[in-house]
Amino acid sequence: MNLLLLMPDDCPEPGLARLSGRRLKHVQDVHRAKPGDSLRIGLLGGMTGTGEILSLSRDELVLSVRLDTPPPDKLPLTLLLSLPRPKMLKRILQTVSAMGVSRLVLMNSYRVEKSFWDSPWLDQDVMREQLILGLEQARDTVLPDVVIEPLFKPFVEDRLPALSRNSRCFVAHPGAEERCPVAMNQPITLAIGPEGGFIPYEVEKLVEAGFEAVHLGPRILRVETAVTALVARLFV
């Protein structure tokens, strides 16, 4: 945890924060902090700054709060991701949040198992918890927007054009002829398929929607690795 992320409910009065639970335990066990120490803090959806420990007990941490620094800018990236395996989704949510992705769309595709859509990892509160862990890692305070699209064709044909408007669009596909470009640093919509990739029909539909098919080389990567590699390549 590189940032102690505060929720609005943690600040019952101006300039003070009161914490318990997981964050208190982290301060005690990892930071091994004591009264008078300063910690890097941020307010969810707001500014970052420093918090001086006023008191620290077994049950509660009380901080004097100063928030005066904006969080890092989000990447101008909408990531379309075929719903991965539940255990992988947990790690990907943290990665997407830590890397600063603005919007994540969890979408269906042919190779996504139907059972994945019944996973408890798709619960809004469960996903939010993983996204917050990513923010704490990256010293960010702004959650990415998360959209769930369980039907491939209606999404690509009806809603994706508006979602991807005014952005450069890419679909990562091992069979593509063009290599993924580097350091685009502009608004981008990026589609990444499931394990095994999109089927040809899905690639064709995305190309019809204005996407350019690109690859990362001859090696086939796991989805979680491909997410990190592609985002790092497109935004340097």
pLDDT tens digits along 187-232: 999 999 998 899 999 999 999 999 999 999 888 889 999 999 999 9
User: Minimal CA–CA distance to 163: which of 109, 212, 110, 103?
Assistant: 103
The answer regarding whether domain 75-234 maps to CATH 3.30.565.10 reads no
Q: What is the bridge-based pairing of β-strands 178-179 and 212-215?
A: parallel
10-46 pLDDT tens trace: 998 889 999 999 999 999 999 999 999 999 999 999 9
Third-level CATH fold of 4-69: Ribosomal Protein L25; Chain P (2.40.240)
Sheet holding 61-69, edge to edge: 4-6, 38-43, 48-56, 61-69, 16-19
- For 47, list phi and psi in degrees, rounded to 5: -85, 165
Domain segments of the chain as ranges: 4-69, 75-234
CB 38 within 8 A of CB 60: no
Q: What is the pTM of this model?
A: 0.94
- For 111, list phi and psi in degrees, rounded to 5: -90, 5
Quote the CA–CA distance of 41 and 49 in Å, as a whole number.
5
CB 236 within 8 A of CB 185: yes
* Token pair in block for residue 40: 């890097």
